[in-house]
Structure formats: C-alpha cells, structure tokens
Amino acid sequence: MSVTIQTSTKAGNDRLRQIFSGAPLRIAIITIALLWTIPTIGLLITSFRPPDDINSSGWWTVFQHPFEISQYTIQNYAEVLTAEGMGNAFINSLLVTIPAVVIPITIAAFAAYAFAWLEFPGRRFFFIVVIGLMVVPLQMALVPLLRLYVAADLNGTYLGVWLAHTGFGLPLAIFLFYGYISTLPAEILESAHVDGASPLTTFSRLVMPLSVPVIASFAIFQFLWVWNDLLVALVFLGTRKEVAVVTSRLSALIGDRGQDWHVLTAGAFITMFIPLIVFFSLQRYFVRGLTAGSVKG
C-alpha cells in the first residue's frame, strides 16, 4: 500500500507508488461500494416490477433489456399506498415527526441557556443528571410510562408519542445546545445585559438566532430518529391502521404478506424516501447531527 496520506504530501516521488498501489485499492473500494449499494438498488428495481416477474426471475434479469419500459410498473406503489394503507401511514409519520422535532427544541434551548449563563442552586447537579440520562436505554421507561399513559388515556394518541419523543430527546438536545450556547462570546451577552436586556430578551433576540446551526443539526438527527423509530411507535401508538406510522405499518405488512415482495419492496421504499431526500439535500448537517447525536441512549 502507498505510504502517502493525502493530507501529508502530494510530492511527485509518491505518485509512482500510488499508481502501483492504486489498482488493488480501487478494486477493494469499488467492491465495498457495490456491496453497500446493490441491495438497495435491487429493492428499488423490484418495487417497479410486476408480481409475476418478481417471483419468476431475479431482479437483475432486467439488465438484459434495461430500457424495455413494458417490464416496469407503478401498480405496486398504487396498491401499497391505498389498499395497504401506506399512504395514510405516510401522513401519520409526518404528523408524528414534525411536532416531535419542534417541541423539544424550544424546551431544550431554554434549559441549555440557563445551564450555560444563569446561576441557580443545583446547576451542576442537574446538568450531570442530564448527561447521565443521555445514555439511559429507553427500555427503562417503557413499562411505567405505558401504565401512566393508560391511566391518563394518552395511549394510542399522537400527543402521547410527541411527548414521549420530547422526553427521550431532551437530554441530547440540552447537551448539544449547551455545548454551543456556552461558547458564545460572554462580551455580547454581558453588553446586552448592561443595555438593560432581561435574560428572556437576551435569549430570544441573541442566543436563539446565534444557535441556528446547532438547532439545525439536532433537528435533522431528531427527525431521522423519530421517522425511523419503530419501538416507541409500537408501544405508545400501536398498530391500528388509522394511526400507524410507516415503520410500524411496514413491519405489519412483513408479518401479513411476508412473501408478497411487490408490496414489501414498494412499501419499504416509501419509508426510505423522505430520509434519503434529507440525506442528499442536507448531507453536511446530517453528518454533523448524527455525529453529535451518536451518544443518545
């Protein structure tokens, strides 16, 4: 293998070695890249093939005549969106996800500001609790919360799921926002104070606008987390067709129609569609959000 790390040097004498090491290295990378894409491509192609074709030949056979339009159909999508309720589930997912992203942002930002810039008794203690809660497995919360929900008639409601995602997302959000807000220049905040701004004014006029990047990172992480979540949706929202989200609907389809690949592949692609758009359009924030959010419990 070549000695050169790209950042270290691009000197001419390295080029020779790079050419020698190039071929096997490239083949290795291309192999891995193929292994990482082929499964998804197979799913996508299958979702556009008629059921009979799917069951009688592998999806790769379409490459014998890739441009023959007659071998593709959008009937699978029509079936899964309407008859199988995936269209409804898609709307439910949006309904669950958007408030579950927005609500924790406000609450966490207020708290992070207090932890960073206000003095109050127990500040260190409470902050350490928040850090500790970040990695608590949410399994620890399921049994007692479900009972509370049943008692409060919140089980199976969107409100219950929003609040659950808010609660589970708060420690990470506070931690992230704190990391950012505490590094804002003290002079700016102090001069606002000298000018007579109350903490609330300082927060809403200065701190929130300055924190947009970190809020964006968290928003993307939380969006993907909630959209892709299955466990919280199963426990607190249930699998009733009227309220089920895409992940729980898809998992129900796998149980009911396990061999109907035309339904499953189209359904799977519907669940993946929005996250993939987010991924490709906001890749930079996406990486930042995921990296930052990786510690979540």
Partner 1 sequence: MAETVEHTAPAPGKQSSTFVTGTLRVIISFIVPVITFLALRWSFTYMRDADANKFLVAVVALIVGVGAVWALYIITDNLVSLLPEAVREGVRPFVFVGPALVILGVYLVFPVFRTAYLSFFDARSESFIGLENYTYIFTNPDMLGVLRNNIWWLIVVTSFVVGLGLVIAVMVDRVRWEAAAKTIIFIPMAISAVGASVIWKFIYSFQAPSRPQIGLLNAVVVALGGDPQGWLILQPWNNFFLMFIMIWILTGFAMVVLSSAIKGVPAELLEAARIDGATEIQSFFRVIIPSIRGTLITITTTVIIMVLKVFDIVFVMTSGQFNTQVIANRMFQEMFTFRNAGRASALAVILLIAVIPVMVYNVRGMRSGRSQR
Residues 7-26 interacting with partner 1 (rule: CB under 8 A)? 7-9, 18, 21, 25-26
Q: Per-residue x/- mask for partner 1, residues 268 to 287, rule CB under 8 A?
A: xx-xx--xx-xx---x--xx
289 binds partner 1 (CB under 8 A): no
135 binds partner 1 (CB under 8 A): yes
Give the shortest CB-244-to-partner 1 separation in angstroms. Answer: 12
Q: Which of 48, 90, 113, 218 binds partner 1 (CB under 8 A)?
A: 113
206 binds partner 1 (CB under 8 A): no
Both tokens of 191, joined, read: 């001069």
Both tokens of 289, joined, read: 């959000």
Give residue for tokens 């996250």. Answer: 275
CA distance 211 to 13: 47
Maximum Cα–Cα distance across the chain: 77
CA distance 135 to 295: 7
Interface with partner 1: number of residues (CB under 8 A) = 131
CA distance 115 to 180: 12
**Long-range contacts of the stretch 185-188 (C-beta < 8 A, 24+):** none
150 binds partner 1 (CB under 8 A): no
Q: Which of 51, 75, 87, 126 binds partner 1 (CB under 8 A)?
A: 126
Which residues inside 233-272 make contact with partner 1, applying CB under 8 A? 234-235, 247, 250-251, 254, 261, 264-265, 267-269, 271-272
Both tokens of 26, joined, read: 């490239």
103 binds partner 1 (CB under 8 A): yes
Please say which residue, 142 or 210, places its beta carbon nearer to partner 1: 142
Stretch that binds partner 1, among 64-72, 73-81, 91-99, 210-218 (CB under 8 A): 91-99
Q: Which of 16, 55, 82, 188 binds partner 1 (CB under 8 A)?
A: 55
Give the shortest CB-70-to-partner 1 separation in angstroms. Answer: 20
Q: What is the dihedral of CA 61, 64, 70, 71, to 10 degrees?
A: 0
Which residues inside 61-90 make contact with partner 1, applying CB under 8 A? none
Residues 6+ apart with CB under 8 A from 257: 84, 263, 264
130 binds partner 1 (CB under 8 A): yes
DSSP secondary structure of 139-175: HHHHHHHHHHHHHTT-TT-HHHHHHHHHHHHHHHHHH
Please say which residue, 75 or 138, places its beta carbon nearer to partner 1: 138
**Count of CB atoms within 10 A of residue 52's CB?**
9
CA distance 124 to 158: 34
Give the shortest CB-127-to-partner 1 separation in angstroms. Answer: 8
